[in-house]
Amino acid sequence: MKTDVLLGLQWGDEGKGKIVDVLAPHYDVIARFQGGPNAGHTLEFNGIKHVLHTIPSGIFHEKKINLIGNGVVLDPAIFKKEVDALLKMGVDVRRNLRISRKAHLILPTHRILDAASEAQKGKEKIGSTLKGIGPAYMDKTGRNGLRVGDIESTDFETRYRSLVDKHIRMLAHFQFDYDLKVYESVWFEGIETMRKMNLVDGEYEINRLLDQGMKVLAEGAQGSLLDIDFGSYPFVTSSNTITAGTCSGLGISPHRIGEVFGIFKAYCTRVGSGPFPTELNDDTGEWIRKNGNEFGATTGRPRRTGWLDIPLLKYSIMLNGVTKLMMMKSDVLSGIDHLKICTSYTLNDNDLTTIPYDIVYNTPLPVYTEANGWKENLTDVATEARFPQELKSYIRFIEEKTGVPVHVVSVGPDRKQTIITKKLF
């Protein structure tokens, strides 16, 4: 069996949690392969709204296996909160969740280092979610990190202290006040919660499940434009958010990748700093933010908003090998008379055919095509036949420009507000 991948093609928050939840019935296993609690994946069904940070979005489906892969970084304190909330809702987390022993731990001092580093950068800050993601991945690649499997060893606390002491020496280089004790007590409570979980050798586990004929859906976090290699560096996250990250973040070979579902919003949003060529700093941008409720699911920060950007979408499609597109939040654009779509860029009066290396310092100017907007409220539209003509044209335009078909159109946050316009499986 193959692993299908579902990931965001923009700057995150495309609606991955919603769609993973919608697709989960078709799969046996849902697996997170990178990122950590910087993610906030929102699910809405039966009048419930729930945000997941570390736990895969298949967790509400009984009898589905949810796996946190080796590529993820996990904060035990945040993890415990998530588990407690799910247990309260009657979700059998202990039975349905497995965690790779090779996933790395975010320590309290990683969070403090993240905050100290951002404070020192001042105006140049990344706009991190301050969950300790960067410092935790630095310790992973620097070969200093602690892994989930380490909590099973008798000298775990000694190893923890040794790494924390190193972090404290690093923190002395910053002028930054912190209270480690506050974080530490809840962190160790989280470690106790984790000790009761089903810890596995994730790479063996997933390959065994695939060999048994199980279908796996890999759930991306963040978005392709926040990828550590291909995003607008340094305004990125610290992991590979693209399809390639699935192989290294779960321990599966590229031969085992099947469909790649690429999710994008009908417009663009970005939270945090960094270039955003089609950003709208005007009333329309504010209107989209309000209408789309564009406030971060993890930090509550207002998201920056802008028009759909085809050159960046094509870049993400290329990097990921997207086979099927899914367009989210189409309902949010209802009522805008004239929509704009960026179809190419110019820089210093030259037409660009690729995304420039130094996009951070030389942000290109978007060239727009205008499209007629749709007036109809889409939130109770249940079939494609009821789509306004203008929406159909908008979708056709995207398909023509990208060369990839749109299979799903989302018209609201609820599970039910999902229209399958072309066969998915």
Which residues contact ligand IMO (rule: CB under 6 A)? 8, 11-13, 38-41, 126-129, 131, 133-134, 221-223, 226, 237, 271-272, 297
Partners of residue 345 on adjacent β-strands: 352, 366
Q: How far is the CB of 121 from Mg ion (least distance, A)?
A: 23
Q: Let me know if 26 is a catalytic residue.
A: no
| Integer angstrom CA distances of residue 425 from 26, 27, 324 | 9, 11, 11
The widest CA-to-CA distance across the chain, in whole angstroms, is: 65
Would you give the DSSP letter of residue 359? T
Measured at the CA of 231, the angle between CA 226 and CA 232, to 5 degrees, comes to 110
In the shown chain, the binding pattern of residues 277 to 316 toward Mg ion, with x for contact by CB under 5 A and - for none, equals --------------------x-------------------
Binding partner of residue 162 among Mg ion, ligand GDP, ligand IMO, none, CB cut-off 5 to 8 Å per kind: none
3-state SS, 74-130, equals ECHHHHHHHHHHHHHCCCCHHHHEEEECCCEECCHHHHHHHHHHHHHHHHHCCCCCC
Q: How far is the CB of 411 from ligand GDP (least distance, A)?
A: 6
The DSSP H or E segment spanning 312 is helix 310-320
Q: How far is the CB of 418 from ligand IMO (least distance, A)?
A: 18
Taking CB atoms, the residue at the shortest distance from ligand IMO is: 272
Check binding of 145 to Mg ion (CB under 5 A). Answer: no
Q: How far is the CB of 132 from ligand IMO (least distance, A)?
A: 8
Check binding of 13 to Mg ion (CB under 5 A). Answer: yes
Rounded to whole angstroms, the Cα distance separating 217 from 201 reads 18
Q: How far is the CB of 96 from ligand GDP (least distance, A)?
A: 19
Over the Cα atoms of the chain, what is R_g?
21
What residues line the site for ligand GDP (CB under 6 A)?
8, 12-18, 39-42, 44, 292-293, 297, 328-329, 331-332, 410-413
Q: CB–CB of 178/171 below 8 Å? A: yes
Query: Is the Cβ of residue 241 or residue 402 nearer to ligand GDP in the bound state?
Result: 241
Q: How far is the CB of 328 from ligand GDP (least distance, A)?
A: 5
Query: Is the Cβ of residue 209 or residue 288 nearer to ligand GDP in the bound state?
Result: 288
Q: Let me know if 13 is a catalytic residue.
A: yes
Catalytic residue among 4, 13, 331, 414: 13
Q: CB–CB of 273/126 below 8 Å? A: yes
Query: Is the Cβ of residue 298 or residue 334 nearer to ligand IMO in the bound state?
Result: 298
Binding partner of residue 340 among ligand GDP, Mg ion, ligand IMO, none, CB cut-off 5 to 8 Å per kind: none
The dihedral formed by the CA atoms of 242, 246, 247 and 253, expressed in degrees to the nearest 10: -110
Task: Return the structure tokens found at 277.
Answer: 């060529």
Q: CB–CB of 105/132 below 8 Å? A: no
Query: Is the Cβ of residue 3 or residue 222 nearer to ligand IMO in the bound state?
Result: 222
Q: How far is the CB of 134 from ligand IMO (least distance, A)?
A: 5
Binding partner of residue 329 among ligand IMO, Mg ion, ligand GDP, none, CB cut-off 5 to 8 Å per kind: ligand GDP
Catalytic residue among 4, 41, 104, 167: 41
Query: Is the Cβ of residue 297 or residue 355 nearer to Mg ion in the bound state?
Result: 297
Query: Is the Cβ of residue 12 or residue 366 nearer to ligand GDP in the bound state?
Result: 12
Check binding of 40 to Mg ion (CB under 5 A). Answer: yes
Query: Is the Cβ of residue 54 or residue 117 nearer to ligand GDP in the bound state?
Result: 54
Binding partner of residue 328 among ligand GDP, Mg ion, ligand IMO, none, CB cut-off 5 to 8 Å per kind: ligand GDP
Q: Which long-range contacts (CB under 8 A, 24 or more apart) does 382-388 make?
A: 382/419, 383/419, 384/409, 384/419, 384/421
Q: What burial letters (b/e) apply to 400-416, b meaning 16+ CB within 10 Å?
A: ebbebebbbbbbbbbbe
Rounded to whole angstroms, the Cα distance separating 329 from 321 reads 23
Which residues are known catalytic residues?
13, 41
Residue ranges in contact with Mg ion by CB under 5 A? 13, 40, 297
